[in-house]
Structure 1
């Protein structure tokens, strides 16, 4: 059983969503705001983040934009310092930022520079942000970390193609398992979620974005006795 936290911060729960100015991240931010979370909308381009936050919350009380490039340690540190100073809490972290769905590439001839770039955002970016916000998450009464992954990262289904994206998502799944094991005794639920093939700029088609985002929000709002260390789509387990 997790130790009881003391000095629990007051006010609505705070959710940080990375890569949230469009696509899955934007819709996750919308759904969490509708569930009475105060959402920190992370965006590499602050102007785009401000525009997205304005569309979601014209009054500016529920969604606040912040400049966040998860591949830049200084940007991550600045975001964490701002959240600590201005909000004083984080209850939910959604590591959504991702790049490079390299459908044109093959592992045998892949540009390893591109692979490294994908890893720096898709894996190390999530890792950086998690480490930076973990002190605040551990103070939350109901801390949740959701790593937005993909079935492309499932070892069981890998047959070739999208090497940078697939390897980075498989590594993100491994990080999910490690963090879940280490944080289990502290009450932090850590899960990976595949939103499925959705009609985003990266996905290029598929089901409506709100349907894919709903599975992420499900993991972000699990009850305290919910699962941890799992890989899910639409609330159902996906093979690793």
Structure 2
């Protein structure tokens, strides 16, 4: 059995209206420069680590332009950089303490444990497997390969599920098609009239997530919109006034 997504002219008009409203916002322009660039830079371990921190920090927490998470991720030097973590004998308590001292961050103990475990995995050889995958993503633009890499990260990293793996890859500028289906996007799609009802519990399942992602990509293809830009427009639509501030930027990953 096969299921075919049918996108209507009304659907396309609504997507185009969304994109027109977001045109020129800093989050859209940042995503366009990074994710749609003809040549995308190689990602170092430090940059990947910053992205991993971002994916875990934005789980079950607000990540708007003025949120504590966004401010933390934009702090330079980054308080949880790979260099700082490498200098710590006990990573989990260091991360937890740093997050609590920064303030406004939920799940600090859980994130500390997750980052400590992932640090051991990466330094124990996992990075040697991930590095060539990211290198290929810089030149090989394919929805299928983006999904393969996202699934690999979800399998190998603690605290990283379907949404977080795509959040990580999109944040470091390496994905165009596979996007994080978070609470904002789920709400927007439900209000839009997406043919299946979305919720966080169902989206935790890989195959359901991929099924929904196929539908979103079909919708974006019909509207001639890159899914990564559609994601940014939906994200910004919940606090467009804040994102219209020229000082507002999407949190990025440079590994400082």
Shorter-normalised TM-score: what interval?
under 0.3
Q: Name which one, 1 or 2, has greater alpha-carbon Rg.
A: 2
| TM-score, L = length of structure 1 | 0.27
Higher relative contact order, chain-length normalized (CA < 8 Å, sep 6+): 2
**Which structure has the highest strand share of the two?**
1
**Which structure has the highest helix share of the two?**
2
